[in-house]
Structure 1
Amino acid sequence: MCGIAGYIHLNPSHPIDPQTLVAMAAIQHHRGPDGFGYKVLNNQGIGFSHARLSIIDLEENRGQQPFASEDGRLLLTTNGEFYDYKRIRADLTSRGARFRTKSDSELVLHLYPRLGLQGMLPHLRGEFAFALYDQERDRLMLVRDRFGIKPLYWTQVNGTLVFGSELKALFAHPEVPRRFSPEGLFHQLMQTMVPGSTAFENIHQVKPGHVVIVERKQGNFQVWEEKYWDLDFPRLSDHPDSLPEEHYIEGVRAKLTEAVQLRLEADVPVGCYLSGGIDSCIALGLSAAIQQSPVKAFTIGFDDADYDETPIAQEMARSTGADQDIIRLRADHLYDHFAETLWHTERTIYNTLGVAKLLMSRHVHQAQYKVVVTGEGSDELFGGYPAFRRDMFLHGLDILSPQERAQWEQGLAQSNQLFRGAMLAESETQDSALNALIGFTPSCLQPWLHAAEHVPALLSAPFREQLENYKPGQAIAENLDADMLADRHPLDKAQYVWVKTMLEGQILTWGGDRVDMANSMEARPPFLDHHLAELATQLPPAMRIKGQKEKYVLREAMRGLLPKVLYEREKFAFMAPPAHTDPQKWAAVNQLAQKYLTEEAIAQAGLLDVQGVNTLFELHEAEATPISTKVRLDAVINHLLGVQILHQHFIATDIPALARQRAQELGWVA
């Protein structure tokens, strides 16, 4: 797990500045504190750099990247892990391959020449992002894993294409401009981002399961993207014939066990994140069974009993004999680290769970662990969120009568009362573009489409004018693959949309990689193993949600592993207590507002409207405002603070100068 960066000039004779490459690595030193490297291909106008976190092949010189192939044709820099690499290495060795390191990353240098890009990618299993340059074809390939667990960004400017694991690595290049795009600002304030986009002008993400290919032809960069994998649910007419439940249960058990076993492979100790949800509990239970020894389990505890899951986590830890380490956090204290967290997330966050995760990863690092197994992805694959249940029963194939649906929705609302305004919308919100594409507006997007109604009044006049006719739901719809949604079951559609928006843009960024790697800590989510995911898409909807029980097949597959209280427990969203729940938390928010949302600060950034901001705060503080509305406004206020902090971090700060200073402090020189 590392940080990668690099750039390529349109003119191959234009020299690469090695110190810029080093600065691009240094600004993301947190991703790879164990060393750095860079390589420049003379007369090719291309250079890569790499900040290394040593997890596999710990010998400093042997595992040092970027890698070059023996014949000099290929240049490679990677971030992440390729699993099952020992089996693949053995097969390649039997065919004459000569490996120079024990690094899993070196697989790419041997698979690509033999199989080509599209032939190689199916063999790569895990979470990864990498850049590969083929000198023979003068082609740069930027590749991202199937779910977007690892980040990868790119931009073009003045005849140069720049890429990196983090936005700050791109901004460390002196020619890359740093400014908000109008649409990016809008989506930062409403939470849900357009797939492939960022908050900043002309800065793109490589989409999950995609490759961005760059070639220099006829005096221009030819840039295009190719999809190599997607979450492909069967069409309604292609659903497999009904099989016994045990067939699906055994399949999930086998694939998940294999996925966990592969993610325990490391040359350093591997621990587990443990909340009170069944997903992390399953990850811990399987890890303990596979290792046949106690596992270190790290748990976050909150000071609000409504949101604290430590009692259930403790029961799971006892049942597996885990060595549990609980870090207890005060929700108001989380705001002390809010600005620091956004330096790493590089986008706004609606809930301080991201801050809590940052503090947890710091605690894990201090405990001298570099790797943990996590539970992300389970809800996405097995229908765990309340929004999925809502869509299944409201838009399903006449599962319930109208009266039963009304009773069911009332029960769902009551059991998820804490999260109305965030996980579930306060009221029905429809979007015509999403309705046209999907057949309904997915419940997972409705809270944020509702929040978007506040955005125009919060924008400064110039941005408001540019976005006068902007429709965020339409922008999201236009960036979803219509073919993957056509003729699918409503539950399949709901899960697909969540994976393309909330999973990649929230859970795996400010709830995952970015706050884990802030403290040089690698998280491994076995539920997002693509072999398991491909099995999950073939599960009948009723095996995912059966009656009122979400993740039915997963519960049954792991029934013997889970304590009774967990097996029977309804999904509980893992969130930090919102600001409205306690006067001290609200005071902490106001303290940040006094720094970032003053009239002077707003005028300097030029992003927001003072009157609109003040009106929103007044609505939040009004006694008549319903609690569910306060939940929504808590999120919007976090986003208001967020865009101001992002401006301070990435626009007001001279990032190229800061990056060179970091390199100097680290002693990283070209």
Structure 2
Amino acid sequence: MCGIAGIFYRDKQRPVDQQLLANMAAIQYHRGPDGFGVEVLDGKGVGFSHARLSIIDLDENRARQPFKSADGQMLLAHNGEFYDYQRIRTDLTSRGARFQTKSDSEIILHLFPRFGMAETLRRLRGEFAFALYDAKEDALHLVRDRFGVKPLYYYTTDDGVVFGSEIKVVMAHPGVPREFDSEGLLHQLMQVMVPGTTAYKGIHQVKPGHVVTFRRQSSGYVIEDKPYWDFEFPDAAFHKGEKSEEESIETVREGLTEAVRLRLEADVPVGCYLSGGVDSCSILGLSAAMRQNPVKAFTIGFTDAAYDETPIAQEMAQATGADQDILRLDANQLYGHFAETIWHTERTVYNTLAVAKFLMSRHVRGAGYKVVVTGEGSDELFAGYPSFRRDLFLHGLDDLDPAERARWESMLGESNKLFKGAMLAENEHNDLYLTDRIGFTPSCLQPWLSCEDTARTLLSGDRRSALAGYKPGLAIAEKLDRAMMDGRHPLDRAQYVWSKTMLEGQILTWGGDRVDMANSMEARPAFLDHHLAEAAVKIPPLHRIKDRKEKYVLKEAMKGLLPKTLYEREKFAFMAPPATTNSDKWTAMMELSREYLSDSMVADGGLLDKQGVADVLAEAQSDATPRARKVQLDAMINHMLGVQMLHKHFIAEDIPALAAVRAQALGWVVH
């Protein structure tokens, strides 16, 4: 688990500045404090750098990246983990491969020349992002894992391609401009991003399950962006066939057990994150069953009892004999570290859960752990969010009798009231473009799309004018592959859309990698094992949600491991309490607002409208504002703060100079 960076010039005779590569590694020192490496191929116009966090093969000199192939024709920089790599190494060794390290990363240099990119990727299992230059093709390949657990960004300049694990790494190259994209800025204020985009002009993400290839030609290079995997659900007709519940349950039990087993393998201690949800409790239960010694379990607690899950987490820890470590956080801690968190997320956040996760990863490293197994991805596979129940009821249960329909309506009306305005829209929001593409507007997008009008009032006049004809719903819809949704069950369509928007753009970004790796801590989401995912999509929708119970099949599969309280408990979305409904948090938020949302700071940034900001703050404080609207405004104030902090961090700051200073301070100097 590391940070990678690189440059690929159009002119292959142009030398790559090795110190610049070292600077790009230094600005992501938090991703890899255990050492750095720089490698260039002379006469090829290409060079990579790497900041290393040692998890597999702890020998710094032997496993130092970037790796160069024995024949000097390939260059590799890899971030992440390849699970089951020992089996692949054994197979490759039998085919004549000679390995120089014990690193899992090195398998790429032996798989690719023997099998090509498509077959190489089919064999890989894990969370990863890597760059591979192949001199025989004279091509650079940028690859991201199937769900987008690990990040990878790039920018194409007139001179070539710059890439890195984080946006600040790309910006450390002086040829990359630092400027907000107006469309991206609007989406930051609305929370939901267009897949593959960022808030910054010209800086793109490699999409999950994609390979972006830059192939040199006489006139420059050709760019090819190809998917190699997708979260593909079967046609709706597939679910009409008979499938026993026990078969579904056993599929989940076997798949998750294997996924957890693989993620417990490391050359350093591995702990678990533990909330009060079925996901992390299942992970801990399986981990405890596979380990002889007590598992270290890390739990976040909030001072607001309505959002605090520690009592159930403690019950689970006691049941498994885990060594539980609880980090309790209050309002001042959450907003006291908000700006620092935004430096790492590189995008705005709607909830201070991002800050809580940032502080927890720091706590985990302080406890001597580099790796934890987490529960992210369970809701995506087994329909755990309240939005999925709503979409199933509205679009996938046409044959309910009146009494059962009434029970559904009552349950949907009462459940998750805490999250109206954030995870659920207060009122139905229909976007014509998304409905045309999907068949309905997924409930997971509705709360954010309903923010559009307010978000536009927050933009400065010139930005607002530039977006007069822009349609956010259309922009998102155009990035969704219709072939993956047509003919699918409504619940499958809803889960697919979530995976392409909220999972990649939120949960795995500011709720995952970026705040975990901010403190050099690797999180391994076992549920996002693609073998488990490929089995989960074939489970009937009414085994995922049965009798109004979400994640039914998972709860049944893990029934023997879960406390009775948790087994019977309704899904509770893990998030920090909103400031607009908590007086202590409101005080802390307003203290931060006086700095970042002052008239002078808003004017200096030139991104927001002074009156629009004042109106939102006033509405949020009004006793006449409904609770759901207050929750929505809490998210928007967090986004406003985030936009101002992003401007300070990445636009006003001289990132190339900062990267150079950090390299000098670390001693990461190329002689």
Task: Give the alignment's TM-score, normalised by structure 2.
Answer: 0.99
Correspondence 1:498 to 2:501? no
Matches within 5 A, 1:564-603: 564-603=564-603
- Contact 1:343/1:646 (<8 A) preserved: yes
- Contact 1:76/1:133 (<8 A) preserved: yes
Letter aligned with residue 40 of structure 1:
V
| Aligned counterparts of 2:223 and 2:130: Cα–Cα separation in 1 | 17
Letter aligned with residue 158 of structure 1:
D
Give the structure 1 partner of residue 475 of structure 2.
Answer: 475
Give the structure 1 partner of residue 194 of structure 2.
Answer: 194
Q: Secondary structure at the match of 2:572?
A: coil
Give the structure 1 partner of residue 462 of structure 2.
Answer: 462
Cα distance, 1:240 vs structure 2: 6.6
Give the structure 1 partner of residue 651 of structure 2.
Answer: 651
Cα distance, 1:365 vs structure 2: 0.3
Letter aligned with residue 400 of structure 1:
L
Cα distance, 1:456 vs structure 2: 1.3
| Aligned counterparts of 1:618 and 1:455: Cα–Cα separation in 2 | 15
Correspondence 1:419 to 2:419? yes
Give the structure 2 partner of residue 63 of structure 1.
Answer: 63
Give the structure 1 partner of residue 166 of structure 2.
Answer: 166
Letter aligned with residue 331 of structure 2:
A
| Aligned counterparts of 1:206 and 1:377: Cα–Cα separation in 2 | 20
Give the structure 1 partner of residue 252 of structure 2.
Answer: 252
Give the structure 2 partner of residue 382 of structure 1.
Answer: 382
Cα distance, 1:224 vs structure 2: 1.5
| Aligned counterparts of 2:238 and 2:571: Cα–Cα separation in 1 | 30
Cα distance, 1:282 vs structure 2: 0.5
Correspondence 1:142 to 2:142? yes
| Aligned counterparts of 2:628 and 2:262: Cα–Cα separation in 1 | 42
Letter aligned with residue 178 of structure 1:
R
| Aligned counterparts of 1:410 and 1:28: Cα–Cα separation in 2 | 49
Give the structure 1 partner of residue 544 of structure 2.
Answer: 544
Q: Provide the aligned C-alpha RMSD in A.
A: 1.0
Give the structure 2 partner of residue 301 of structure 1.
Answer: 301
Give the structure 1 partner of residue 488 of structure 2.
Answer: 488
| Aligned counterparts of 1:615 and 1:179: Cα–Cα separation in 2 | 26
Give the structure 1 partner of residue 642 of structure 2.
Answer: 642
Q: Secondary structure at the match of 2:105?
A: helix
| Aligned counterparts of 1:167 and 1:352: Cα–Cα separation in 2 | 21
1:417-458 superposed Cα distances (whole Å, 9 cap, x missing partner): 100001110100000001101110000000001112211111
Q: Secondary structure at the match of 1:146?
A: coil
| Aligned counterparts of 2:75 and 2:262: Cα–Cα separation in 1 | 27
1:39-61 superposed Cα distances (whole Å, 9 cap, x missing partner): 01111111000000000000011
Give the structure 1 partner of residue 26 of structure 2.
Answer: 26
Letter aligned with residue 237 of structure 2:
S
- Contact 1:331/1:577 (<8 A) preserved: no
Give the structure 2 partner of residue 84 of structure 1.
Answer: 84
- Contact 1:413/1:420 (<8 A) preserved: no
- Contact 2:331/2:588 (<8 A) preserved: no
Cα distance, 1:404 vs structure 2: 4.5
| Aligned counterparts of 2:166 and 2:369: Cα–Cα separation in 1 | 23
| Aligned counterparts of 1:403 and 1:568: Cα–Cα separation in 2 | 23
- Contact 2:581/2:631 (<8 A) preserved: no
Give the structure 2 partner of residue 133 of structure 1.
Answer: 133
- Contact 2:383/2:389 (<8 A) preserved: yes
| Aligned counterparts of 2:403 and 2:601: Cα–Cα separation in 1 | 53
Give the structure 1 partner of residue 98 of structure 2.
Answer: 98
Q: Secondary structure at the match of 1:142?
A: strand
Letter aligned with residue 23 of structure 1:
N
- Contact 1:285/1:320 (<8 A) preserved: yes
Q: Unaligned stretches of 5+ in structure 1?
A: none
1:284-335 superposed Cα distances (whole Å, 9 cap, x missing partner): 1101111132100000000000000000000000000000000110033200
Give the structure 2 partner of residue 291 of structure 1.
Answer: 291
Letter aligned with residue 433 of structure 2:
A
Letter aligned with residue 415 of structure 1:
S
Give the structure 1 partner of residue 121 of structure 2.
Answer: 121
Give the structure 2 partner of residue 611 of structure 1.
Answer: 611
| Aligned counterparts of 1:423 and 1:651: Cα–Cα separation in 2 | 31
Give the structure 2 partner of residue 362 of structure 1.
Answer: 362
| Aligned counterparts of 1:221 and 1:618: Cα–Cα separation in 2 | 52
- Contact 1:240/1:538 (<8 A) preserved: no
Q: Secondary structure at the match of 2:307?
A: coil
Letter aligned with residue 195 of structure 2:
P
Letter aligned with residue 250 of structure 1:
E
Give the structure 1 partner of residue 236 of structure 2.
Answer: 236
Q: Secondary structure at the match of 2:305?
A: coil
Q: Secondary structure at the match of 2:102?
A: coil
- Contact 1:428/1:446 (<8 A) preserved: yes
Q: Secondary structure at the match of 2:650?
A: helix
Q: Secondary structure at the match of 1:105?
A: coil
1:560-613 superposed Cα distances (whole Å, 9 cap, x missing partner): 011111111111010011101222211111111111111111111110100111
| Aligned counterparts of 1:153 and 1:262: Cα–Cα separation in 2 | 28
Give the structure 2 partner of residue 208 of structure 1.
Answer: 208
Q: Secondary structure at the match of 1:306?
A: helix
| Aligned counterparts of 2:110 and 2:241: Cα–Cα separation in 1 | 41
Give the structure 2 partner of residue 448 of structure 1.
Answer: 448
Matches within 5 A, 1:267-346: 267-346=267-346
Cα distance, 1:407 vs structure 2: 4.6
Letter aligned with residue 294 of structure 2:
P
Letter aligned with residue 637 of structure 1:
I
Q: Secondary structure at the match of 2:493?
A: helix
1:108-127 superposed Cα distances (whole Å, 9 cap, x missing partner): 00110111000110111000
| Aligned counterparts of 1:406 and 1:559: Cα–Cα separation in 2 | 29
Deviates more, 1:283-292 or 1:655-664: 283-292
The count of aligned residue pairs is 670
| Aligned counterparts of 1:583 and 1:479: Cα–Cα separation in 2 | 40
- Contact 1:182/1:466 (<8 A) preserved: yes
- Contact 1:388/1:495 (<8 A) preserved: yes
Q: Secondary structure at the match of 1:368?
A: coil
Q: Secondary structure at the match of 1:516?
A: helix
Q: Secondary structure at the match of 1:132?
A: strand
- Contact 2:38/2:50 (<8 A) preserved: yes
- Contact 1:62/1:101 (<8 A) preserved: yes
Give the structure 1 partner of residue 430 of structure 2.
Answer: 430
Cα distance, 1:402 vs structure 2: 6.3
1:382-430 superposed Cα distances (whole Å, 9 cap, x missing partner): 0100100000010014142467545523422322110000111010000
Cα distance, 1:225 vs structure 2: 0.6
- Contact 2:300/2:328 (<8 A) preserved: yes
- Contact 1:194/1:501 (<8 A) preserved: yes
Indicate how the Cα distance of structure 1 residues 580 and 432 shifts in structure 2: closer, same or farther if over 3 A, else same: same
Cα distance, 1:241 vs structure 2: 2.3
Letter aligned with residue 576 of structure 1:
A
Deviates more, 1:588-597 or 1:203-212: 588-597
Give the structure 1 partner of residue 44 of structure 2.
Answer: 44
Give the structure 1 partner of residue 666 of structure 2.
Answer: 666
| Aligned counterparts of 2:202 and 2:79: Cα–Cα separation in 1 | 23
Correspondence 1:524 to 2:524? yes
| Aligned counterparts of 1:445 and 1:453: Cα–Cα separation in 2 | 15
| Aligned counterparts of 1:175 and 1:399: Cα–Cα separation in 2 | 60
Q: Unaligned stretches of 5+ in structure 2?
A: none
Q: Secondary structure at the match of 2:604?
A: helix
Task: Give the alignment's TM-score, normalised by structure 1.
Answer: 0.99
Q: Secondary structure at the match of 2:20?
A: helix
Correspondence 1:507 to 2:507? yes
Cα distance, 1:3 vs structure 2: 0.2
| Aligned counterparts of 2:573 and 2:70: Cα–Cα separation in 1 | 50
Cα distance, 1:91 vs structure 2: 1.1
Letter aligned with residue 579 of structure 2:
A
| Aligned counterparts of 2:64 and 2:36: Cα–Cα separation in 1 | 7
- Contact 1:393/1:400 (<8 A) preserved: no
Letter aligned with residue 274 of structure 2:
L
